[in-house]
Amino acid sequence: MAVIRKLEIRNFRSIRQLDWWPTDGMNCLIGAGDAGKSSILDAIDFCLGARRSLTLSDSDFHNLEVENEISVTLVLGRLDESLRNYEAYGDFLSGLRSDGVVEEEPGHDLETVLRLNLTVSGDLEPRWRLLSKRAQDRGIDRGLNWGDRLTLSPTRLGDWAENNLAWRRGSVLNRLSEEKPDASKALSNAAREARKAFGAEAEKQLGGALTIVNKAARELGVPVGTAAKALLDTHSVSVSGGTIALHNDMGVPLRGLGIGSTRLLIAGLQREVAEKSSILLVDEVEHGLEPHRIMRLIGSLGAKTTPAPQQVFATSHSPVVLKELGHHQLFVVRKNVHGSHHPYAIPADTQGTLRAFPEAFLAPSVLLCEGPT
């Protein structure tokens, strides 16, 4: 399934400029608070997520400078057949060199890629489109097909995870099976039985009111048949995409689970559908989890599996997470002297220090002392 080869962000929240080439597997963003880690996850979600509209405000522009448009560009590689289809995307396919440079034309020894862009101007209207100079020269402008957007849309583990525990559009459960459950027949039959059962009780409870209604109807010539009855209104039964959801053996909805258990379950389900939807966003890996369950979640994300089963973008402030991950899976987010952001890879020779003093990699600065000091 497709992965993000390169991420470019311009003028989004605290990020004036960011260019990053993530790995195919675990990409855990660490560093001091307010460094822009969550904004990086949001930028990926906003650009790649299956949404027709996007609610942003002036505060989402870097330094409130609404005259400088927000731009997020993803270079997507490892494309499946539908994304390499020349009839649909032939004018937009590009080639990626081994050094990370994108060529306008696909070619020998180049990986075929697509460039997806999200732009938001001062009018706050989002625009999604594919980038290609040769398509621009020919006046061709288009985005991804909606079906491809649904397939590429990342799963996100945040505070709110109820959507993924029901068979809703875009949920991990919908991706888990080809079958689409239909509750309409069961609900219709249940509604009919409920109407019959309630009707008999209503005659006893609402008899006085029904007598008045029938008397008024007869006097006014309103056709209600032999007598009006109090029955359940079939239109009052609302059927939404979340009608069918996961429950435990006692019938209690699993959305009532704790945050940590919910995140563990969804991460495990996402692992099962990684071949269909291989990008996962995780806000604060440690959120709601004890240390031993943090380790279990990291294993479920595929961080210790080779080759990596899915591409994960995560944030963390936990020393436990740093101890469990390898140096190549961690990226420190900081602003450089030129005012640009860049997730810095941790050198291989610091792996021992990472295990011994993980807290040091989460601080904005480190003070080194020796001797009695």
pLDDT digits over 342-358, tens only? 899 998 998 998 999 99
Question: CA angle 214-218-221, nearest 5°?
Answer: 130
pLDDT at 339 over 80: no
pLDDT band at 246 (very low <50, low <70, confident <90, very high): confident
b/e per residue 128-146 (b: at least 16 CB within 10 A): bbbbbeebeeeeeeeebee
* Residue 199: per-residue pLDDT: 63
Among 123, 231, 244, CA closest to 173: 244
Task: DSSP letter for 235, please.
Answer: G
pTM: 0.82
- Give the percent of the chain with pLDDT over 90: 44
Question: Is 106 in contact with 93 (CB distance < 8 Å)?
Answer: yes
Q: Give the mean pLDDT of 216-231.
A: 73
* Residue 227: per-residue pLDDT: 78
* Residue 369: per-residue pLDDT: 83
Establish whether the linkage from the previous residue to 343 is cis, with ω within 30° of 0: no
d(CA 253, CA 270) in angstroms, rounded, equals 19
Tokens linked to 69 = 């448009």
**Residue 270, SS3 per DSSP:** helix
Q: What is the dihedral of CA 219, 222, 228, 234, to 10 degrees?
A: -160
* Residue 200: per-residue pLDDT: 67
Distances (CA, A) of 365 to 124, 335, 348: 37, 13, 20
Count how many residues are written for the chain. 373
Tens of pLDDT, residues 48-82 = 998 888 999 999 999 999 999 999 999 999 999 99
Q: What is the mean pLDDT of the chain?
A: 85
Q: Give the mean pLDDT of 216-244.
A: 66
Tens of pLDDT, residues 279-293 = 999 999 999 889 998
Helix (H) or strand (E) holding 102: strand 102-103
* Residue 179: per-residue pLDDT: 62
